[in-house]
Chains A and B, each alone.
Chain A
């Protein structure tokens, strides 16, 4: 069964600290993996999209990694800010269809 699992479920960190969110997937075949940020009550906003051949991609303070062999991805947030408080969702597209498979998300709270 195609699944995307994220950990931790929730995370609290102090402003300025770094953190890493994890994503494991069992989706096969694999097309790409995306990380989205979703603020409460808003739609998801794309952070990164990575294909099979890419193992790291950065977007400002966000850096995503992908290991297609172990089917694992991580999202590293550097020097966290209060505005980073949100849910971070790992999403995998498995094949040529347009369907996306969503993880349950990690809820991040950055405290001053």
Chain B
């Protein structure tokens, strides 16, 4: 099946620094990718929809200046957590759908997630 790869799988950073997380679709093209955040024992919460070649669409309450999203190609989207603080510590997951043949019933593939710890 299709593979979505996230990198890194875990990262520890100092408060105030920025962290970039990459999401790649390895064997299909994805004009749209999604970024989620998951706190312990909770389900995934959509942060933003990443659109190739255009600005991301952010969910209500998500700071676009803090969570910078770039979708520069059909196989790569990046999420940058800027000026990270301990409360940004969470599990971040990306998802992608195949673009060319995708309809509403197309499978959504998830990356393996990135555990961010801000100290």
- Interface positions of A (Cβ within 8 A of B): 31-32, 34, 36, 41-46, 49, 51, 89, 93, 95-96, 98-100, 102-105, 107
Contact = CB atoms under 8 A, between A and B. Distances in A.
B49 A98 contact: yes
By DSSP majority rule, is chain B's interface helix, strand, loop, or mixed? Answer: strand
Interface stretch (B12-20, B65-73, B78-86, B109-117): B109-117
B44 interface: yes
A31 B108 contact: no
B91 interface: yes
Interface of B: 4, 6, 32, 34, 41-46, 49, 91, 93, 95, 97, 104-105, 107-113, 115
Contact of B105 (A32, A42, A44): A32
Of the listed residues B42, B93, B105, B115, the one surrounded by the most CB atoms of chain A closer than 10 A to its CB is B105
Given A44-B110, A107-B41, A93 B104 contact: yes
Contacts of A43: 4, 6, 93, 95, 110-113
